[in-house]
Structures are given as C-alpha cells and as structure tokens.
C-alpha cells in the first residue's frame, strides 16, 4: 500500500507485507536531492520505523539514474547560510549537521536498508548509498565522490563511512582524484553485494534480500543492526562487552525456539513484531 508523504516530497513510499519501498521521483533532475527532499526524508523513514512492523526498506530511483547528488538549488535557496561571519559559520555547521542527520536516520531505524542502484550514484547519492546496509547495482551503475570535482570537500558521510567499506588506496583515489568507480569494481571491492545486468534486475535482487530479512526474527535483526553499528566505531574488546549486555537484554526464548522448530519441520517461523516507538525517539 502507498503511504502518504508530504505533497512536496520528491519520493514515494509504499509498504507491502513488511517491506517498504522508498523511490526517488525526480527523474527529470536525475533524482538530485533538493530542499524538499531534506525536509521530508528523515520524517518519512522514521514513520516507517515507529509502528515496529516494517522489516526492511528498499531505496531506488526512477528514470536513468539512482541519484546525482545534491541539487545545486540548495546552495542558492538560502537553505545553506553563507559562512562569511562567525554567526554564519556556526549556522552553516548546524545546517550541515542537519543534512547529515537526515541520512543518519537510516542507521538508527530497526530494520536493514537496501539500496537498488543504477546509473549515477554520485555526490550525495553515494553518501546515501554508503549509509545503507546492503547495496545491489546494475551493470550501468557508477559511483563518484563528486564534491571534489566542484571545488568542495564531501561532508555528508562519504569520507567517514566509505573508509570502513573500501580499501584506503581506493578511498584516496576517489576523494582526491574524483575518479569513477564502476559497478564491477565496486562489487570486486566488496562495496556492492551483487551486480545485475539491468536496473530491474538490481531492484529484484534488493527485494529478494528484503524478503529474506522478513523471514528472520525482527528482534534479532534489530539487535544485529545495533551491534554492527556499535562495532564499526569501537574496539573488539568494547564490542564483545557490549554484545554480552545486549544479548542479555534482548534475548527472546520464543523466537529462538520457534526458529529451531520451524527449521526442523521445514516450515516458516512466525515472530512477534517489534514494539512501537514513541514519537520523537528515533
């Protein structure tokens, strides 16, 4: 079923049996991320998480490209204040953090986020893909840190998340030279999970992965995502201590016994949904 999004939102949101699909809908602008996107995206994703019934989210783009990055209109609309005074620089930094937080919501939701990528995935589009949990691409997909080619440093996550996902030499090449990473090379380097011959094939692969997630215990999925995020930013010793406490807090005997019984019987286990989240807690 379609889910109501703000009339000005440059994307659609649908939810079908626990699998959500957020589709960027500005094909005439190569799905560039304008002012309307930044105000609507995080609330829409948070709304999917709040009831506790969404199991996975697929993100894709209409038209020839996944996402061409930040719409240049953002820089001329007044949405980003000019850093020409101390007050302006403080406001600029706050605006940058707000944009970062819009993508960061994908890390804090309790379900995996899966990108289906075709054509251009550059600039802010690459930063969007980098924050997703899984990435499936078509043969024609390509990736680029575009910001360095237009006189600026990337600041929405590429320089922070990509070093956790790609070798240092490759990151340096992308960040300093502004070169293009093909889909085949991205898969060989482990950034992309699989490459399909067509955009439709990439979208099908993303939905197939979402369907597999839907068959797992939601509580175990949510705990695993939380643990993986913690591990990314902490030492092995700290992460082992954290997982012991997290497992103790979230262990579900009914889920474990149900999964074991379903496997033995060759059936599909059923699991309770997550509890709803209070408004404003994401």
pLDDT, block means (10 residues), the chain with 282 residues? 73 97 97 94 96 97 97 69 81 89 96 98 98 98 97 94 97 98 98 98 98 97 98 97 96 96 94 90 69
Report pLDDT for 78: 60
Report pLDDT for 77: 59
Report pLDDT for 91: 86
Report pLDDT for 227: 98
Report pLDDT for 213: 98
- Count the neighbouring beta carbons within 10 Å of the beta carbon of residue 131: 22
| Nearest-5° Cα angle at 216, 235 to 121 | 65
Q: Please tell me the distance from the alpha carbon of residue 203 to that of residue 137, in angstroms, as a whole number.
A: 8
Report pLDDT for 76: 65
Report pLDDT for 1: 63
Report pLDDT for 195: 98
Give all domains of the chain, ordered by start, each with its CATH number. Answer: 2-214 (3.90.226.10), 218-265 (1.10.12.10)
Q: Please tell me the distance from the alpha carbon of residue 178 to that of residue 20, in angstroms, as a whole number.
A: 33
How is residue 49 written in tokens? 């998480």
Report pLDDT for 74: 72
Report pLDDT for 66: 98
- Taking CB atoms within 8 Å and a gap of at least 24, the contacts of 25-28 are 25/62, 26/62, 27/61, 27/62, 27/63, 27/64, 27/65, 28/63
Record the pTM.
Answer: 0.94
Report pLDDT for 81: 66
């Amino acid at each position: 079923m379609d889910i109501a999004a703000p009339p000005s939102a440059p994307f659609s949101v649908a939810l079908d049996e626990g699998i959500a699909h957020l589709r960027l809908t500005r094909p005439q602008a190569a799905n560039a991320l304008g002012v309307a996107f930044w105000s609507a995206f995080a609330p829409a994703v948070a709304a999917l998480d709040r009831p506790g019934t969404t199991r996975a989210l697929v993100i894709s783009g209409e038209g020839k490209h996944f996402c061409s990055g930040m719409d240049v209109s953002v820089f001329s609309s007044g949405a980003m204040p000019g850093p020409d005074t101390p007050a302006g620089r403080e406001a600029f930094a706050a605006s940058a953090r707000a944009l970062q937080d819009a993508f960061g919501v994908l890390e804090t939701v309790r379900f995996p986020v899966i990108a289906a990528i075709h054509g251009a995935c550059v600039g802010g589009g690459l930063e969007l893909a980098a924050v997703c949990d899984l990435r499936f691409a078509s043969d024609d997909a390509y990736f680029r840190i575009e910001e360095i080619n237009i006189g600026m440093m990337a600041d929405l996550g590429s320089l922070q998340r990509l070093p956790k996902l790609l070798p240092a030499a490759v990151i340096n090449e992308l960040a300093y030279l502004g070169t293009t990473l093909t889909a085949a090379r991205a898969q060989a380097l482990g950034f992309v999970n699989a490459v399909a011959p067509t955009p439709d094939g990439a979208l099908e692969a993303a939905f197939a992965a979402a369907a597999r997630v839907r068959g797992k215990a939601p509580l175990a999925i949510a705990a695993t995502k939380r643990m993986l995020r913690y591990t990314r930013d902490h030492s092995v010793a700290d992460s082992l201590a954290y997982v012991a406490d997290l497992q103790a807090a979230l262990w579900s005997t009914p889920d474990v016994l149900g999964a074991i019984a379903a496997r033995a019987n060759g059936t599909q286990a059923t699991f309770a949904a997550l509890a709803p989240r209070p408004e404003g807690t994401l």
